[in-house]
């Protein structure tokens, strides 16, 4: 990917029902979503000209808005249609898709009941989230300082921008020490997720993954669980403590951006990407883009 700033890319962005030139898709500096994180978003990928599980993402976007106390002024059908048309207009086959909904600038303050709910969709080309050469060898994760909060303190089921502040801090800190990402615990000290992906472990041929009770039950996460079960693998959704990590032999992350990415190290714990991880990397590739994978 080029080093061109994101506000200077070419093409169009769908913004409040209209396709506008990329550079003209702007907001005011006093937009409520910027000051108070009253915004929700999605991360989606298109493969072979089709967005993977588009409706599931759109429905989650709408539900996330409700959890933040606002109604997105477009139906799921309208958002899906806009996404599909924008993908064609951008001329991409494989791409990243970012819809976002946010409160505007009509009121400035914590309360903003009268603010317009703006909706935008941008699509750009984005390669592997992690270094492709390092990815299949397994990426290295640090242990994050910040923890996923108690769901009684934040709308953890929403894909809300404010919940990602500690993710950015944690990923920056990890990268500064030479790691690719960071593993986050939750407020109880249990293993939760990486900064932008869910985490899975393998032990004695079975898969173990944290219960998503204070972080997103990712769409890719659910897809991977389904793929594992199709292979007859046992999947345990359970509480996992840091001391349990020494009992696992394999580890991988999954998410729309990360897809399925093997992990070789989390702080002091080591893993070897093995057969189950490799199978799920391949199975996910077939699931999102059967024709392309078959051709390769």
Residues with catalytic annotation? Answer: 159
The residues facing 45 across adjacent strands are 96
User: What tokens appear for 91 in the block?
Assistant: 């001329």
Q: For the chain, give me the number of helices (H) and strands (E)?
A: 8, 16
**Strands in 115-223 per DSSP E:** 117-124, 139-143, 181-185, 191-194, 198-203, 206-209
Please report, for residues 41, 152, 184, the alpha-carbon distance to residue 161 in angstroms, rounded to integers and kept in the order given: 7, 18, 17
Contact predicate 200/224, CB 8 Å: yes
Question: How many other C-beta atoms can be found within 10 angstroms of the C-beta atom of residue 231?
Answer: 11
φ, ψ of residue 199 to 5 degrees: the values are -120, 145
| Distance between CA atoms of residues 296 and 294, nearest Å | 5
């Amino acid at each position: 990917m080029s080093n061109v700033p994101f506000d200077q890319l070419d093409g169009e962005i769908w913004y409040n029902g209209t396709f506008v030139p990329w550079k003209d898709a702007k907001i005011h500096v006093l937009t409520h979503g910027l000051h108070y994180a009253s915004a929700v978003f999605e991360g989606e990928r298109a493969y072979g000209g089709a967005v993977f599980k588009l409706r599931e993402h759109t429905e989650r976007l709408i539900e996330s808005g409700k959890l933040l106390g606002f109604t997105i002024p477009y139906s799921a059908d309208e958002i899906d249609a806009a996404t599909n048309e924008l993908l064609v207009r951008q001329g991409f086959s494989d791409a990243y898709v970012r819809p976002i909904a946010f409160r505007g600038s009509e009121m400035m303050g914590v309360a903003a009941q009268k603010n317009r709910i703006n909706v935008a969709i941008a699509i750009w080309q984005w390669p592997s989230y992690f270094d492709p050469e390092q990815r299949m060898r397994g990426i290295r994760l640090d242990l994050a300082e910040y923890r996923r909060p108690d769901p009684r303190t934040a709308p953890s089921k929403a894909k809300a921008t404010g919940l990602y502040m500690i993710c950015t801090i944690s990923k920056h800190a990890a990268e500064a020490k030479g790691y690719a990402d960071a593993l986050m615990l939750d407020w109880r000290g249990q293993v939760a997720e990486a900064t932008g992906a869910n985490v899975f472990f393998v032990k004695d041929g079975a898969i173990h993954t944290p219960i998503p009770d204070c972080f997103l039950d990712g769409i890719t996460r659910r897809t991977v669980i389904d793929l594992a079960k199709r292979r007859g693998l046992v999947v345990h959704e359970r509480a996992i403590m840091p001391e349990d990590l020494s009992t696992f032999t394999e580890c991988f992350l999954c998410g729309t951006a990360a897809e399925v990415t093997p992990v070789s190290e989390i702080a002091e714990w080591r893993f070897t990407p093995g057969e189950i991880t490799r199978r799920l990397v391949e199975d996910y590739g077939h699931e999102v883009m059967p024709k392309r994978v078959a051709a390769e």
